[in-house]
A and B are shown apart, each in its own frame.
With several copies, the nearest count.
Chain A
């Protein structure tokens, strides 16, 4: 698909510039201009929440900088982790003296760079903890759940940790909560059409028109199967089945649900998918605590969708409902 851009090598920087111009609540930090932070002065004493990741997934990652969510976010190139320098900048900016939680997706580059940055921050007396989003059930078996990729479900961890930090909880508590949100969140997605990384001649992967690549990652990592598309309800069924297949410790009958567009799939169709998923959840005795349907974690113009479920307990439910605001999402 034709991309609305100038030159490919400026894709990220020009887009970030537009983002900050459109949303004065966001500003640049650091000399690489690859860290987005809250514009308003930071709360001394609040635990910081830093994140980071590759570009091309807006609103994720840096779009979630805002009250009750992230303090700062490092931005990599399209589908590449942030550099160690910007990871460090994001940590330093987030920190208000009470330590900073690095809350990122479980991708090699992102993890390694935040690890190195956290070590450097430690040298400057900043306490850090790290929690990795690992919600994509398609990316590894239950026995290897810690190795899973982090995808749309990271949003629940952002929200819960962000609310806890805003409420004045300490670093250990915020870390525990983020980890709990991760542990209780599962995502599965499917792609219907690929995306084109800027500057490339061909899409990063292909999806035969009319077929579904089920379990595909948000960068086009291969999925579990591909077959002809049948119906939204069939997909909803397989997705919910797979999300429910694993037990969650202290699993409750309340779930937060995110039906997410990977980019090109329109709201109209997300609601059709949501309708199918919602019926199944109700049939199985689940009640919804938070419902989100929209483009929250995308892959540019990739078509397809993901469903994330967070099996909430009372603590998470309260944190998910707490007021928060960023350019792409508001709760209150």
Chain B
């Protein structure tokens, strides 16, 4: 099974069922380091995206482009804008593709990461969404099956959080609060885990039970 507009739409609908939880978790994470709105913005963006119907005849790129445009009318926040920019970049790369094969996973994440890096003017290691994408990119290099890709994405998103949790943020609102950010997950990185992780994962409920028991 490869990624098509239909599978993306199904995944979006799937997460849309979980936004209340995701929204709270991310707001809470952002409240410690930023302005506490990552979750609300993302929930709204997902809502907007699920309104975009799939046209059976369109390419992946066309669909992603329409998702990006719809989202672009809904927010101008940092993270939202980075997501929109990444969607546009992937959309351009898949303009003529009916599907994205599992073996293309790493290159898609690479496109997203590079676009975010240049838009966000942020290097690797600053404890942002970019670090999560870089880890996923590396972890999915060479995968051939969708199932394997999904597993590795989830693992890499977790590993990225673990690797950076005790590092200081070096970008955005939390930049100078080294002490504050140490021990706290970056909301953008956490979003990657909760969104990309949940998107394809029916065991999200288990995961939720675990994370909600984590020490605050």
Contact = CB atoms under 8 A, between A and B. Distances in A.
Q: Do A and B bind each other?
A: yes
Interface of A: 32, 52, 54, 74, 76-77, 79-87, 107-110, 112-113, 115-116, 139-141, 144, 147, 149, 197, 199-200, 204-205, 217, 219-222
A109 B78 contact: yes
Nearest to B116: A112
A264 to B, nearest CB: 18
Which 3 pairs across A and B sit closest by C-beta, in order of nearness? A108-B78, A81-B76, A219-B35
Contacts of B84: 84
A79 B34 CA distance: 11
A83 B31 contact: no
Contacts of B173: 139, 149, 217, 219, 221
B74 interface: yes
B76 A221 contact: no
A326 B35 CA distance: 29
Contacts, number: 108
Contact of A140 (B37, B120, B175, B180): B175
B73 A109 contact: no
Contacts of A204: 27, 31, 35-37
Interface of B: 27, 31-37, 40-41, 72-82, 84-85, 119-120, 172-177, 180
B73 A222 contact: no
B41 A80 contact: yes
Contact of A217 (B32, B35, B37, B81): B35
Contact of A205 (B31, B75, B77): B31
Given A76-B75, A204-B35, A222 B81 contact: no
Given A87-B76, A110-B76, A112-B120, A221 B35 contact: yes
Contacts of B33: 221-222
Contact of B74 (A54, A83, A110): A83
A112 B176 contact: no
A301 to B, nearest CB: 15
A197 B41 CA distance: 12
Contacts of A85: 72-73
